[in-house]
Structure 1
Amino acid sequence: MTVNLAELARRFQGKVRGDADVVIEGVASLQTAGPRDIAYISDRKYLSQLAGTKAGAVILAETDVAHYSGSALIVANPHLCFAQVADLLHPTPGFRPGVHPTAVVSTAAKVAATAWIGPHAVVEADAMIGEGVYIGAGCYVGAHAMIGSKTRLVAHVVIGERCVAGNDCLFHPGAVIGSDGFGFAKDGEQWQKVPQLGRVVIGDKVEVGANTTVDRGALNDTVIGDGVKLDNQIQIAHNVRIGENTAIAACVGIAGSTIIGKRCTLGGQAGVTGHLEIVDDVHVTAGSLVTSSITQPGVYSSSLKAEPVEKWRRNAARLHHLDEIVQRLAKLEERLQQHFEEQKN
């Protein structure tokens, strides 16, 4: 697809500075863009790269236009506009509906005529596959599972029995929805498995990254709200509830029965212990460990930065004596207080 800069401005509520007729065919970075590409800047630290770009146009905020002499699309949010332009110029490939000859689809499954079931995919009895659904190669949809309209399972995705995926969702390769939660009861020196009887219920417009796992609930459901975005290799345990439009980066682990509010963000490799609650609009930075409920919106961190190993070993050794040091300090404060009282008298 090709489009000129004037049309992009009309579609995405921007304005043009320069040649409104410049033709745009693709998106690219400032360094690699050619004369038919559009690039963008959302962070001012990259302004110095504008002078060397060969892009046909650049998406800029009003405050940054003076730093660039070429054609520009001026908008309030350059990053958002770039995403919208990229989606317009590089849409998801279409597909022909049908069932591949190697797919195994139960005669008791309900598959919309506009859906596609790919090579070696399996759809079990009483599963419901909605209009325009794409089920890629090697995917598995369990019995009584439900897949909403226009949802896309790229390849090798598992949707467990009775689990629900909403409309217009995207599941990347290796995602597993509805695996058993980690539930065991101690029986002497052994472990007795606790049956995991709940489901996973996923809302609309949810994206789940590659090799991310969402466990089914033990009794109640694990629930992922509308608009949630999950990166790759995330572990979400049983009975977790995640509010609408929350975004979670790669390698985060969330323990069981945790409730996370709406519009939250969790940075990469953050950890959240179980049975706690995080309110709406909380942002946890990368590598942090959340061990108690967060009751106020804001930004939270708990990680220690990397430092030279010799220094870290000294500090770690002192940490072992921290309780002793605190007790000695408390006694010293008490003695000083007594001394000051004696001086007054």
Structure 2
Amino acid sequence: MAHTIESIASLIGARIVTLDGCVATPQEPVTGAAAIEQAKSGELTFLSEDRHISRLKETNASAVVIHPSQAARVNADYPRLVLLEVEDPQAAFLQVLPLFRMIRSRLKRGISPSAFISSTARIGENCAIGPGAYIGEDVIIGDDCDIHPGASIGAGSRLGRDCQIYSNAVLYHEVSLGDRVIIHANAVLGADGFGYRFEQGRFIKVPQLGGVIIESDVEIGAGATIDRGAVDATVIGAGTKIDNMVMIGHNCRVGRNNVFAAQVGLAGSCSTGDYVRLGGQVGVKDHTHMGTGCMVGAKAGVHRNVPDGETWIGYPASPEAEQKRLVFTLKRVPEMREEMRAMAKRLAELEKLMAESASNPLKAAG
């Protein structure tokens, strides 16, 4: 089906604005959709933030989905673009994107003959279980789940409805998932926590007898690891999104709608409130709590509790304003060092003059 700027505007409920001297027309065919830098003539793009308006000068796109307040700032410097004004440009663009991208369907419903399923497992309706998947004893899988090739689900685990477990992901025994949970490839849930006692010169393993509870609408990235609790379960709250290669230690309790970027590491028994955001490579000390709505910047090292709503950065992490003062002060250290050297030199000269005056008062008086 052919699409035009006009038909796409109708689809997303956009107001069409053409500037004086505009090269494109509302009837122009739209052949694709792409980001600002990659968009070609005949394609559609979108603007998400005010600070990116200047980048529109570089785009070759024929039309841009844009907020009305941003459109008001676009002038004759952008003559070739047709503006499609909507209240939420990103949401509108995501509505258009499937018109030009193939979206692969989910796995074919049914169970592969090469999958291993325990006789005591219970599989819901309309599920898909791929080749080489392993379903252990007493596992319960809800309706409409996809278990991709090579995935392993250990004994006693529970999956809610509409879960997707991608290839080579491993759920150890007694892992519980809510509804609509997505576990990406090679993630490991329920491995033993890193718990040992040091006795008589040796590290003795502490049994890890808790489980893992993943509440509904959680997404866990490729290669992420979530350890089981030692006594009680490690818990990931509803709606939380965990990026690739994140490590969450045993006994952690993560709140609802948290967002952790890649390579975040939480040591054992950490906890968070709701709506916590951690930047890439943040490391958190064991038994640390991060309050509701707080944010920690990338590469920060968190060694103490973070209060609700605060933004912390740096290593060791502290409130943003405090860290900025430290950074600005450190930048002045070379300058301050030179100033101190000059002051020391001047002080030495003054001390010399004072010594000469003390030894020869008449000369000093003259």
TM-score interval for Structure 1 and Structure 2 normalised by the shorter chain: 0.7 to 0.9
Q: Return closer, same or farther for 1:190/1:150 CA change in 2, 3 Å cut-off.
A: same
Deviations 1:55-111 (A, max 9, x none): 343222222214244233323343444445446765452332111122111121111
- CA distance in 2: counterparts of 1:162 and 1:197, whole angstroms: 10
Tell me how far apart the structure 1 counterparts of residues 5 and 254 of structure 2 sit (CA, whole Å): 39
The aligned residue for residue 82 of structure 2 is 71
Match runs of 1:223-302 below 5 Å: 223-302=235-314
> In structure 2, the residue corresponding to 1:245 is in which secondary structure?
coil
TM-score (norm. length: structure 1): 0.80
Q: Are 1:125 and 1:142, in contact at CA under 8 Å, matched by a contact in 2?
A: yes
> Which of 9, 18, 37 in structure 2 is aligned with 1:31?
37
Decide which of 183, 195, 209 is 2:221's aligned counterpart: 209
2:209 and 2:174 mapped to 1: Cα distance? 10
Equivalent residue in structure 2 for 1:41, among 47, 66, 74: 47
Q: 1:24 to 1:113 in 2, by over 3 A?
A: farther
Give the Å deviation of 1:153: 1.5
Whether the 8 Å contact between 2:157 and 2:175 is mirrored in structure 1 is yes
Q: Aligned-pair distance for 1:134?
A: 1.0
Equivalent residue letter for 1:155: S
- Given that 2:121 and 2:137 are in contact with CA atoms closer than 8 Å, whether structure 1 keeps it comes out as yes
Corresponding residue number in structure 2 for 1:113? 125
Q: How many residues align?
A: 309
Q: Distance in 1 between matches of 2:32 and 2:178?
A: 31
**Is it true that 1:62 corresponds to 2:68 in the alignment?**
yes
For residues 105 and 250 of structure 1, what CA distance do their matches in structure 2 show?
33
Amino acid paired to 1:64 = Q
The reply on whether 1:130 has 2:142 as its aligned counterpart is: yes
1:170 to 182, 187, 199: 182
Secondary structure of 2:239's counterpart equals: coil
Deviation of 1:141 (Å): 0.6
Structure 2 counterpart SS, 1:64 = helix
State the partner residue of 1:142.
Answer: 154
- Cα 1:16–1:140 shift into 2, 3 Å: farther
Partner of 1:342: none
Q: Measure, in 2, the Cα distance between the counterparts of 1:41 and 1:2.
A: 24
Q: Distance in 1 between matches of 2:62 and 2:45?
A: 8
> Gaps (5+ residues) in structure 1?
306-310, 316-345
- Structure-1 separation of matches of 2:99 and 2:208: 42
Q: Distance in 2 between matches of 1:298 and 1:24?
A: 45
8 Å CA contact 1:98–1:113 kept in 2: the answer is: no
Deviations 1:167-210 (CA, angstroms, capped at 9, x unpaired): 22222111111111111111111111111111111112211111
In the aligned structure 2, how far is the partner of 1:2 from the partner of 1:249? 39
Structure 2 unaligned regions, length at least 5: 19-24, 317-322, 324-329, 335-366
Q: Distance in 2 between matches of 1:173 and 1:262?
A: 26
Counterpart secondary structure, 2:55: helix
Aligned residue among 166, 174, 187 for 2:199: 187
RMSD (Å) for aligned C-alpha atoms? 2.8
Task: Note the C-alpha offset of 1:131.
Answer: 1.6
Query: 3-state SS of the aligned residue for 1:217?
Result: coil
Higher alpha-carbon deviation: 218-227 or 295-304: 295-304
Sequence identity, in percent?
Answer: 31
1:161–1:8 Cα change, 3 Å: farther
- Amino acid in the other structure paired with 2:210: G
1:17 match: 17
